Amino acid sequence: GQRATKDGDVLIEASRFRTQERNREDARERMVALIAKAAEPPPPPRKKTRPTKGSVERRLKVKAGRSDVKKMRGRVKGD
């Protein structure tokens, strides 16, 4: 990601603490956490699901209602 250089080196900047030694320890801990996260297996692929019959019917009913509202927006014909 953003931490890798063009040469393939991974840089971790650590300046949260006042001492150089504590910053080095912090950088090592973060590097271990980064490697552990990279070693985790990817999540399983998502299973495709279909909407239920009721949800499809509700969606179409709402669409038809909106269509009726928009049809009524035309000019009023006078007698």
Rounded mean pLDDT for each run of 10 residues along the chain, 79 residues in total = 79 91 95 93 95 97 95 81
Q: Residue 60 falls within a domain, yes or no?
A: no
| Identity of residue 66 | R
Q: Residue with structure tokens 């019959």?
A: 53
> pTM, whole model, 2 decimals?
0.52
24-61 burial, b if ≥16 CB within 10 A, otherwise e? eeebeeeeeeeeeeeeeeeeeeeeeeeeeeeeeeeeee
Q: Residue 62 falls within a domain, yes or no?
A: no
Instruction: State which residues form the domain around 13.
Output: 1-42
Q: Residue 59 falls within a domain, yes or no?
A: no
Q: Residue 48 falls within a domain, yes or no?
A: no
Q: Residue with structure tokens 């063009």?
A: 6
Cα–Cα dist 4/34, whole Å: 12
Cα–Cα dist 47/68, whole Å: 36
State the pLDDT at residue 8: 82
Counting the structural domains of the chain, the total is: 1
Q: Residue 76 falls within a domain, yes or no?
A: no
Q: Residue 21 falls within a domain, yes or no?
A: yes
Q: Residue 16 falls within a domain, yes or no?
A: yes
Q: Residue 73 falls within a domain, yes or no?
A: no
State the pLDDT at residue 36: 94
Cα–Cα dist 3/25, whole Å: 18
